[in-house]
Amino acid sequence: MARAYHIGKIAQLFARSRNGTTADPSVQALVEMWDDGVMIVDVHPALNESAEKGRYALISYEFQTPQMSTNTIIKIIDPEAGENTWKRMRTFHERRKKAMVAAQEMDTSDTLPDARMVR
C-alpha cells in the first residue's frame, strides 16, 4: 500500500459535541491544503481532542487502489514548524503555477510549421 503526506490547515472540525448529532464518535476536519485544495478528512482517534481550528496538520494519503485513498490527519504540527512547512510548500506551488501559465502563454505560432504543411 502506497502512502504520501500533505500539510493542511484545519478550517473546521465536525464532531459530536460541536456540530449537531452523529451516528458515531469519529471526528472529521475540513482542511485547506497547501496546493489550493480543500477536503474533508478523518482525524485519527488519538488526535480527536487536540485537533483545533487554525492548526497545521499532517495528512496521510494511503492508496488502497490507484483510484481510492484514505485520508487521515495523523499529526498536529507545532505552530512554528507548521508555518515554515506551509510557506515552503506554498512557495513551490506558486512557482509551479507561474511556470505553467508562462508555458501556456508562450507564442509558438512563428516557430512551429503549419500542421497542413507537414507530411
Cβ-count burial 71-88 (b if 16+ within 10 Å, e if not): bbbbbbbeeeebeebbee
What are the cell numbers at 67?
A: 483510484
For domain 2-105, which architecture applies?
Beta Barrel (2.40)
Average pLDDT over residues 55-76: 88
Residues 31-48 have pLDDT tens digits of: 999 888 999 999 999 999
Domain range annotation of the chain: 2-105
Residues 90-119 have pLDDT tens digits of: 998 888 888 888 777 776 556 666 656 555
pTM of the model: 0.75
Q: State the chain's mean pLDDT as an integer.
A: 85
Average pLDDT over residues 47-59: 94
**Whether 83 contacts 32, CB under 8 Å:** no
In whole angstroms, give the CA distance from residue 19 to residue 21: 7
